[in-house]
Amino acid sequence: MRAQGTVDQAVDRAVGLAASGQRTVLGIAGAPGAGKSTLARRVVAEVDARLGSGTAVQVPMDGFHLANSALDALGRHDRKGAIDTFDADGYVALVRRLVDATEPVVWAPDFDRRVDEPVAGSIAVPRDTRLVVSEGNYLLDEDTPWSALPGLFTETWFCAVADTVRVDRLVGRHMRHGRDHEAARSWAVEVDGVNAARVAPTVSRASWTILT
């Protein structure tokens, strides 16, 4: 059986990785609504609290969403979040730079949920950052170029949660960003659900499964 752990155990593990003094790049995968971003934020906050501010930085895969105008042009806006709606090559290239840690600072994009768009050059990762935490749905996908990622990350974690909990989280998220309940549930089931089905089998490629 693949090793499983709790969120608290994951935090302790991350502190240990950061304390090694070497650049560590941690990938956190999982289905939409599985708790990836929440876990990443908790890890970064705890590592900084225990080892000093600036020890860890969060770099989300969501910064590589294609812009809404690009999705409109491709006819994919109604499936935003699917694997083909990201700049996969750009993300893999960024992870390589983060692993190399040879530049004085690497600037990474973020994703602004208020405007539902990526924002370039938002996150600074200085060379002396010891732990970089990156989370996203497709970090363990077997298709090229995503398939290169497990070999780049120091470790890969997979967030696991009951589907009922995951869908409820997504409905709440979509409602907070302007959808009514019916539209929010429809997106959570019909759009996010397709993506979740693709992500679920990739758990077998993870170093560790975290119960969120």
How far apart are alpha carbons 209 and 7 in whole angstroms?
A: 10
CA distance 33 to 51: 29
Query: pLDDT of 2-11, one tens digit each?
Result: 689 999 999 9
pLDDT, tens only, 64-115:
999 999 999 999 999 999 999 999 999 999 999 999 999 999 999 999 988 9
Question: What type of residue sits at position 37?
Answer: S
Over residues 26-53, the pLDDT tens digits come to 999 999 999 999 999 999 999 999 999 9
Q: What is the maximal distance between C-alpha atoms in the chain?
A: 49
* Torsion sign over Cα 106, 12, 47, 159: positive
Residue 2 has a pLDDT of: 61
